Amino acid sequence: MNYQALIEAFSKVDYTNIYFILSASSIIFNPLFWNIVARNEYRNKTLTKIFKSPKNGCYFLAFVIFTLGIVRDLLFGKAIQSDNECKLFDSIGIKVIGYICLAVGGILVYSSMYTLGIIGTYLGDYFGILMEKRVTGFPFNICDNPMYNGSTLNFLGTAIIGKSCAGIVLTIIVWIVYEVALRFEGPFTSMIYANRDKKEVKKPTVTKQKSKKIN
């Protein structure tokens, strides 16, 4: 590969393009939004109070996050369309890599959603709807964060197929944002389940006395 040509191609990315800016802003905003809302929900039960139950509040947040994800993906697509095609990606081998990324990414994302369900996928534990035990089946048995890893691969595959250096740069932003988000989400989620376990340990055990028959 001609690394000088690659450097030159990325140097031509228009970082002032409105769709690039909007796409990058959306990529950064979404995890920031759902982490702030979810933590507020854990502490103050705002959505639970508004929608009268934790489950309804979680469904509403799921709808908002899903909608924001669609907007983010549309903006990402626009950023790729408005970018100049990079001839370095114009080969069968590179295109195959792009489709492999999309295939693997799609499997990771959709299998994660199937395994966790809507509530498990969309931060149900912050609403107090906790899973009984850690999920260890596919795809969680091959990577710790299949949802984020799969999403990143989807962005990468789309950028490669679209022959877009701007798309590659935005994918790097996606990866960085997810890595930062995990630094906050992982410990906080562990704390939620640790608190649950402590409460269960403190529950008094009730011993049932056997009734005696009187002859």
The 10s digit of each residue's pLDDT in 106-151 is 999 999 999 999 999 999 999 999 988 778 889 999 998 999 999 9
Q: Binding-site residues, please?
A: 103-105, 185-186
Give pTM, 2 decimals.
0.87
Model pLDDT, residue 208: 44
Ramachandran area for residue 86 (φ above 0: left; ψ -120 to 50: alpha; else beta): beta
Does residue 84 lie in a domain region? yes
Given a contact cutoff of 8 angstroms between Cβ atoms, the answer to whether 62 and 118 are in contact is yes
Give the DSSP letter of residue 164: B
201 is a domain residue: no
Distance CA 128, CA 42 (A): 7
Residue 22 lies in a domain: yes
Number of folded domains that form the chain = 1
Whether 30 is in a domain gets the answer: yes
| Torsion angle in degrees (nearest 10) through CA of 157, 159, 160, 163 | 160
DSSP code for 12: T
Whole-number CA gyration radius for the chain:
23
Tokens of 152: 């990143």
Q: Which domain holds residue 115?
A: 3-185
* Residue 208 belongs to a domain: no
pLDDT of amino acid 2: 67
The answer as to whether 156 is a domain residue is yes
Residue 211 lies in a domain: no
Lowest-confidence segment of 57-61, 146-150, 210-214 by average pLDDT: 210-214
Question: Where does the pLDDT of residue 195 fall: very low under 50, low under 70, confident under 90, or very high at 90 and above?
Answer: confident
**Residue stretches of the annotated binding site for S-adenosyl-L-methionine:** 103-105, 185-186
Q: Which pair of tokens denotes residue 34?
A: 């759902």
Would residue 45 count as lying in a domain?
yes
Query: What phi-psi label fits residue 137: left (phi over 0), alpha (psi between -120 and 50 degrees) or beta?
Result: beta
Q: Is the pLDDT of residue 49 over 50?
A: yes
